[in-house]
Structures are given as C-alpha cells and as structure tokens.
Amino acid sequence: MVVTICATAALGVLIAATLLGLSQADTTGRTLGLDVAVAVLSCGLIPVTLRWPLAGGLALGVLAALSPVATPPATAAALITARQRRFPVALAVAATGIAGHAVQGWWRPAGGLSYGWWLLLLTAAYAALVGWGALAQARQALLDSLRERALRAEAEQGRRVAEARVAERARIAREMHDVLAHRLTLVATYAGALEYRPDASPEQLSKAAGVVRAGVHQALDELREVITVLREDDNEADATSRPQPVLADVTCLVDESRAAGTSVRLNNQITTPTEVPAATGRTAYRVVQEALTNARKHATGQPVLVLLEGKPGMGLVVDVRNPLPTNASASPARGAGTGLIGLTERVQLAGGHLDHEISAGEFHLTARLPWPA
C-alpha cells in the first residue's frame, strides 16, 4: 500500500510537470483538454499498473499515442513489467509503448529533433528500461534462490545433527546394554551360589558376597553413566571417553566367566591380536561377551567353546557354541532376544555378518568380521 501511494505520487508529479510544460508551450490551447484527460487517466492507471503490469502497461502505451503527458507512466510501466513478469510480456508492453510514442511523434512532433532520431532514442530508452527490469528480476530470483538454499542447508544441517545425536545415543545404549548384561549375569551367578550352597565355607560365602557387592556397584556406576549421557542435549559426553575393549581383552572376559563358575574353553588362533583393527576387535569382544552372557542365562552349567581365527585380508571369525540344557527347567526363561538383535546390528555396522542357530541340541553363534590386509 505504501509503495502504491509513493509511486502514484511520484509519477503524478511528473505528469503534472509535463502537463504544465505543454500548456505553456501551446499558446492556442487546442490540445489542453486532451492532455488534461490523458493526465487524469494516467494517474488512475498507475495503481492498476502496479497490481496488473500487463493491462496497465498496454493501456498507458495507447494513451502515449494521444499525449506526451502519458510518457512518464508508460515508460515506468515498461520497467515495472520487466521486473515482475516474464521477458516476452515485458517486450509486449515495451512494443506497445514504442508504437504509441511513434504515433504521438508523427502527429505531435518534438521540436529540434528529427522524427527518425527521436524514434531511435525512444526505442533505446525502452530497451534500456526492459533490460534494467529483467536484470533486476534475475538478481532478485538469484537472491531468493540463495536464501532458500541457505535455509534448506541450515535445516539439513539441523536434521543431520539431530540424527547424529540419536545415532550416538543409540550406540551408547547398545554399549551399555552389553556391559550391564554381562555384569548383572555375573552377579546373578554368584547370588545363585549363595542361595543354593548355604553349606559353603565362610570364606567362600564371603568371597561370593564380595563379588556380588563389587558387581552391583560397578553396574550402578555404569547405569548412572549411561543415564547421564542420554540426558545430555549435546554430544559433549561421549562413550568413547571410556576405555574401549579390544580383541586382547577377550582373555580377561573368559577368565571372569570362569571365575563365575562357567566352563569356558578359549581357542585363540590369532597370534598377534594387536594387528586387528580397533573397531573390529571391539566388535569381536562384544560378540564373545554377548555369547557368554546368553550361555549363563540360558544354558547354566554347560561348557562354552570360543574360537577366534583369521588373518589380514581373510577376515576375522568369532565362533561360540555351547550345548543346551537337557532339562528346560534348569535354565531361566528365555529373554526377548534384543541382545542378539542389537549384536546383529553392531556386526552389520562393522561390515560383517552374524549367524546364530540351534542344531543338534547346541547353540551356535558365528560372526564374520572384515580384517583388511
């Protein structure tokens, strides 16, 4: 609304100035009435031109054939149309204005300038106006495109940050699941020993109680850590700040399970475990950890065989198997299987493949992980 008022006022001043100049030059006053009428119509067409450039520009081009008073709004209409409409539409308005002025110059010639030069200069002026308007429109379109691209890039960056935060929290949750499940099954094993072996010596009972107490404290510390991390609004708290296990730590993991009463035989054919990439070794560690945890939960008292083999360029194979209990009541109820689901996802993210099956009364878990040459 403000732009319309300002444009109408500015062009109205130019129309009035042109009308005043024509009235002073025409001493006879033969065309004064026509000029006044054209001035009034031109002022009325200015808001129309701002709203509908094509219609307003064509009408002003026709009025330009009647009086020079319509020249300021007709040329302005060509500029406005070039800024707001497609180039062919702007050319149509400019051509109408040139034709109207050609008629005007023919029956009301400008003094001191030949008709040919006057028409040439007029055509050049319209061409400059159309070019200026088209350039302004292209520049505005470029700015709008850059602004939209910046907004889209900002939104995409925000989405990526959110996805990265969710993925990191999910990774931390999987990591803590593996650690807590292993820790709590050890605690449950020792607590079961306290329950079913009341005739044990005081030293054995004291040792088992100490293991339960230490295991519970460690589990609480780890649970408190994961809750703290998952409550963070940014990624400052990262699970990578914890010492991460590697393939060489599998031996300690097996010793810990043996101390809890599980018969575990480790066949480690990897002579130099330090050559295994850290990510591959960590995934292999988690596979063995989940397998031992499941064995304690679902096959209590059964022996477990852990096989590690592979070489650079051939891959790393983790093979864990244990017999199933003959009496179904001898083992606790089976869980929801979320541990194996998470383990499968972990192995796939590491570029490997995980298989597990029950065959001939034996649970068999095999993970094949990449080991670049």
Distance (Å, rounded) from C-alpha 167 to C-alpha 38? 71
Q: Could you give phi then psi for residue 175, rounded to 5 degrees?
A: -60, -45
Average pLDDT score over residue span 80-90 = 93
Give the pair of three-digit tokens for residue 77: 């209409």
> Among positive and negative, which fits the CA dihedral 214, 216, 218, 220?
negative
The winner for highest mean pLDDT among 4-8, 20-24, 93-97, 254-258 is 93-97
d(CA 22, CA 235): 76
Cα distance between the two ends of the chain? 73
Q: Count the neighbouring beta carbons within 10 Å of the beta carbon of residue 177.
A: 18
Average pLDDT, the chain: 83
Q: What is the pLDDT of residue 22?
A: 79
Beta bridge partners of 311: 315
Residues of the chain with CATH 3.30.565.10: 245-373
Residue % of the chain over a pLDDT of 70: 82
> Predicted confidence band at 235 (pLDDT cuts at 50, 70, 90)?
very low
Q: Which fold has domain 245-373?
A: Heat Shock Protein 90 (3.30.565)
- Answer whether residue 135 shows pLDDT above 90: yes
124, pLDDT greater than 90: yes
pTM for this entry:
0.47
d(CA 298, CA 342): 18
pLDDT at 70: 93
**pLDDT, tens digit (0-9, with 9 covering 90-100), for 326-350:** 764 444 445 546 678 778 888 888 8
Lowest-pLDDT choice from 38-52, 82-96, 127-141, 345-359: 345-359
Region 194-209 average pLDDT: 71
| pLDDT for 172 beyond 70 | no
Residue 368, classed as helix, strand or coil, is strand
Tell me the pLDDT band of 301, cut-offs 50, 70 and 90.
confident
pLDDT at position 332 is 42
Residues 6 or more apart from 47 whose CB is under 8 A from it? 4, 8
- Evaluate whether 291 touches 305 at the Cβ level (below 8 Å): no
Structure-token match 């070794």, residue found: 281
